[in-house]
Amino acid sequence: MRLTAFTDFGLRALMRMATAPDRSFSTRELASEFSLSRNHLTKIMASLAQAGIIVTRRGGGGGATLARPADQISLGEVVRVLEAGQALVECFAAGGGQCTVVGCCRLKARLRKAEAAFLAELDRSTLASIALPPVSANPLTQS
């Protein structure tokens, strides 16, 4: 079972933003801290902004901030947004795939319940609970 890099990297950025929810973060700064592609992170931030998880402002003094307090953004919400369009198995995709047992499959409902259990578990935590220590207090991010 895999989450996309899109989700993984988005969660890393949000962990940092949750450290200082009142200040703006540039994509450049976040990409640099986590050694991520700035282009990839720009797409992730756009997706988070569109979903109302972050707010972005252009120009000098611009950047991204959390749209709500970190303790009001669950990990389940974030993962649902970033994994949107990722089908757990072929037949969950928009087109439905080529599986020959559609119509008599009793597995599908069980996989949906398992996926729901995964997300429900993530709904129990918020970004506040995974906020990273401030950069100055984290020896691993100092160089």
User: Which residues of this protein are in contact with its own copies, per CB under 8 A?
Assistant: 1-5, 7-8, 11-12, 15, 33-35, 75, 79, 83, 86-90, 98-107, 110-111, 113-122, 125, 129-133, 138, 140-141
Q: Which is nearer to its own copies, 57 or 124 (CB)?
A: 124
For the CB of residue 122, give the shortest distance to its own copies in the complex, in Å: 5
Nearer to its own copies, 50 or 121 (CB): 121
CB of 61 to its own copies, least distance (A): 26
How far apart, in whole angstroms, are the C-alpha atoms of residue 15 and residue 119? 18
Looking at beta carbons only, is 29 or 33 nearer to its own copies?
Answer: 33
Tell how far CA 58 is from the center of its chain: 21
**Smallest separation, CB 67 to its own copies (Å):** 20
CA distance 4 to 6: 5
39, 29, 49: which is closest to 5 by C-alpha?
A: 39
Cβ 108 to its own copies, closest distance in Å?
Answer: 9
Q: Are 64 and 54 in contact (CB under 8 A)?
A: yes
- What pairs with residue 57 in β-bridges? 63
Please name every residue paired with 63 in a beta bridge, in sequence order, or none if there are none. Answer: 57
